Amino acid sequence: METKYYTVVRIDGDYAWLNRTDKEEEPLLVSRALLPVEIDEGTNLKYEMLQYEII
User: Going residue by residue through the chain (55 aa), what tens digit of pLDDT does each one get?
Assistant: 789 999 999 999 999 999 999 889 999 999 999 999 999 999 999 999 999 999 9
Every domain of the chain and the residues it spans: 4-54
Contacts with 5 (C-beta within 8 Å, 6 or more apart), sequence order: 20, 21, 22, 44, 45, 46, 47, 55
pLDDT of residue 1: 73
CA distance 21 to 5: 6
| CB-based contact 34:52 (threshold 8 Å) | yes
pLDDT of residue 30: 97
pLDDT of residue 28: 96
pTM for the full predicted model: 0.89
Q: Is the CATH code 2.40.50 the one for domain 4-54?
A: yes
